A and B are shown apart, each in its own frame.
Chain A
Amino acid sequence: MEGMAVRLQGLRKTFGETVAVAGIDLAVHDGEFFSMLGPSGSGKTTVLRLIAGFETPTEGRIELAGQDVTRLAPFERDVHTVFQDYALFPHMTVEQNVAYALKIRKVPKAERLRQAREALAQVRLEGYGTRRPAQLSGGQRQRVALARALVGRPRVLLLDEPLGALDAQLRERMQLELKALQREVGITFVFVTHDQQEALAMSDRIAVFRQGRLEQVGTPADIYERPATSFVASFVGTSNLLRGEAARRVLGTDGVHSVRPEKIRVLKESAADDEPGQVTATGTVAETVYLGDATRFLVDLDAGGRLTALQQNLTTSAEDVAAFRGARVRLAWHRRHTVQVPDAR
């Protein structure tokens, strides 16, 4: 099929009694940055390993660029993987690591070296070619793993939580670099992560996994603004759900509703709700969390339940924020920011 890099049909994988992947249908487009997001044990890494060929599916079919590869060995598939622990060969130099795939394809030595150096330059590691992996920092190793997987120009690049071991600052920088690199080389990236921020920041589309099943597949905006289930609403972003009695009294309807913390404004209790389409609810501030650039207000509603509201610290500072604890407030947000989600319980 034209335009499909990866296609999964009825994919199932069980390990003895444990069901790791419980029937998944998924299509990744050519040139897409596709993320598989979910908590640990949700099956996302198993799906990645099934695509790479390290595991054989119990049921179902895997296609790469229209070709059925379900029964093919890893070395027969046109995909390369960036492993979570990088899996660099410790007895080879950085250059030898990067050139490994080319050496297997019997690319002549001079050409092999040229391409390896080029790939190292692409991940900004010029001049590190003769070092051993043990002499590199975590971030540098991560780049070598990336260069090694990219150098063979695979059809699809699989990335298994590649930024998981890096510290927060390096991680943010690598997110930008990875995204830029993907645009530059135009290879399909399938990216596994448990970090929703990371998935939202980098992906063209995201698949949210839960207990071996797909909860939702869509663009970051779809996932964040229009969560299909209460699980997606709470796993991506802060859990902010109105249900039952609270939903009836605040919104006037039944069911479970999600509203994002940054959409909610914190007002004085006496403030009038004059704007049309506005939803308001009064409550007491139970806790404030000062985050530097913003403050998180945890508000117990008079209608029952608790909502989190995120406010930019435009004029307030830490001292002002502390004084809010126990204060009476009115929360206000626009009705269109409320999304009804199916009740999972």
Chain B
Amino acid sequence: MTATAPAPPAAPAARERPRGTLGRLAGALHRRPRLRLALLLTAPLLWLAVLYLGSLAVLFVSAFWTTNSFTSQVVKVWSTDNLRAVLTTPVYREVIVRSVGVALAVTVLCAVIGFPLAFFTARVAPRRWRPLLVVAVLTPLWASYLVKVYAWRLILSEGGLADWMLRPFGLDGPGYGLPAAVLTLTYLWLPYMILPVHTALAQLPAGLLEASADLGARPARTFRSVVLPLVLPSVGAGSVFTFSLSLGDYITVQIVGGKTQLIGNLVYSNIELNLPMAAALGLVPVVVIVLYLLALRRTGALSSL
């Protein structure tokens, strides 16, 4: 625009805001926040209510039904026999305890292996390598679950990689069985532990570490008094994944677990023959995980998810 140009005659009209149909709609929505919220949330809420909570409800209800033992047909007669059987049959109780034990063992292993790794990727490695290292941690998640488990089956097979590497020390590989299942599950879920811990460590303000050193704390002390308490909630967050994923798994155990049975295997083997029993068994991990989350909530770990 030049200084000599005459003022356009339509200048006042230009101050009017353009108001097409869309503009009016946007204005109307702006004045009705509740309508806006409803339009935004209806579809996802329906999805959540019908598909997610609905299927959980069906699971819960069908646990109280029974089966015709000749035809394997579901009979919709209310009974608590299935639940009682789950809680009192020694085999079931043994499997439940074993499954929770496996989930806890995998979680502890993931935390013990994952924390130092995350510490390295977030604070020790040169800054420009860090994003690359995170990608490296995540890469296994892009490979098929089955491929990874079968790879472990090969590693753990008789005369396989594990045996070969341990032979110089006079040892054998673990073979197939419970330890193999724990090992493979730890491998599978490790990235889910590393990622939240890495994020928490990376977000730890450098100033806090400096302040601690400034006030006389040696590195070990700073780690114990500042780093650990601030990062522990993220370990809890990671454990939600490692614990629940391990508790629900049944394929890994089938492939590398030998004769070991976990709760998932019981559910799987009951689905064809006795659906209500499978549902009752399926409620067990749901209840255990809810209890686990409630326990975690007390520590404040869930807010760092």
The reply to whether the CB of A87 lies closer than 8 angstroms to some CB of chain B is yes
Q: Is the CB of A74 within 8 A of B221?
A: no
Contact A104 B211 (CB under 8 A): no
B226 close to A104 (CB less than 8 A) = no
Most buried by A among B205, B215, B216: B215
Among the interface residues A79, A88, A89, A148, which one has the most CB atoms of the partner chain B within 10 A?
Answer: A89
The verdict on B212 contacting chain A, using a C-beta distance below 8 Å, is: yes
The reply to whether A152 and B215 contact each other, CB–CB distance below 8 Å, is: yes
Q: Which residues of B contact A149 (CB under 8 A)?
A: 214-215
A136 sits at the interface (CB 8 A): no
Q: List the A side residues contacting B207 at CB < 8 Å.
A: 83, 85, 87
B208 at the binding interface (Cβ < 8 Å): yes
Are B211's CB and A81's CB within 8 A?
yes
Binary CB contact string for chain A from 78 to 106 against chain B (1 if under 8 A, 0 otherwise):
01110101011111000000001100110
CA gap between A85 and B205 in the complex, in Å: 10
Let me know if A74 and B213 touch, CB within 8 A. Answer: yes
Chain A residue nearest to B207 in the complex (CB): A87
**Nearest CB of chain A from residue B300's CB, rounded to whole Å:** 10
CB distance from A134 to the nearest CB of B (A): 13
User: Counting CB contacts under 8 A, is A73 at the interface?
Assistant: yes
Binary flags per residue of B189-221, CB closer than 8 Å to A gives 1, else 0:
000000000000000010110111111111001
Q: Are A74 and B214 in contact (CB under 8 A)?
A: yes
Q: Is the CB of B230 within 8 A of A148?
A: no
Contact A75 B230 (CB under 8 A): no
A80 and B226 alpha carbons, distance in the complex (Å): 17
Contact size range, A: 20 to 34
* Nearest-CB residue, chain B, relative to A74: B213
| Given contact pairs A90-B230, A91-B229, A91-B230, A75 touches B213 in the complex (Cβ within 8 A) | yes
Q: Mark B223-265, 1 if CB is under 8 A from A, else 0.
A: 0011001100000000000000000000000000000000000
Contact B216 A152 (CB under 8 A): yes
CA of A83 to CA of B208, assembled, Å: 10
Q: Which of B213, B216, B229 has the most CB of A within 10 A?
A: B216
Chain B residues within 8 Å of A100, by CB: 212, 215, 217, 225
Give Cα A83 to B210, complex, Å.
9
- Output the least CB separation between A212 and chain B (Å): 22
B216: which of A83, A89, A91, A104 is its contact (CB, 8 Å)? A104
How far is B212's CA from A101's CA once the two chains are assembled, in angstroms?
8
State the CA gap A90–B207 with chains docked (Å). 12
Q: Are B229 and A148 in contact (CB under 8 A)?
A: no
Q: Are A83 and B215 in contact (CB under 8 A)?
A: no
A75 partner, pick from B205, B217, B225, B226, beta carbons under 8 A: B217
A52 interface hit (Cβ, 8 Å): yes
Residues of B within 8 A of A52 (CB): 210, 214
Task: Supply 14 A–B pairs (Cβ within 8 Å), ascending by A.
Answer: A75-B218, A80-B215, A81-B210, A83-B207, A83-B211, A85-B207, A87-B205, A87-B211, A91-B229, A101-B216, A148-B215, A149-B214, A149-B215, A152-B216
11 more A-B contacts (CB under 8 A) besides A88-B211, A149-B215?
A53-B214, A75-B213, A80-B214, A85-B207, A87-B205, A87-B208, A89-B211, A100-B225, A101-B215, A101-B216, A104-B217
**In the A-B complex, the 9 residue pairs with the closest CB atoms:** A87-B207, A87-B211, A101-B215, A74-B213, A104-B216, A81-B214, A91-B229, A75-B213, A75-B216
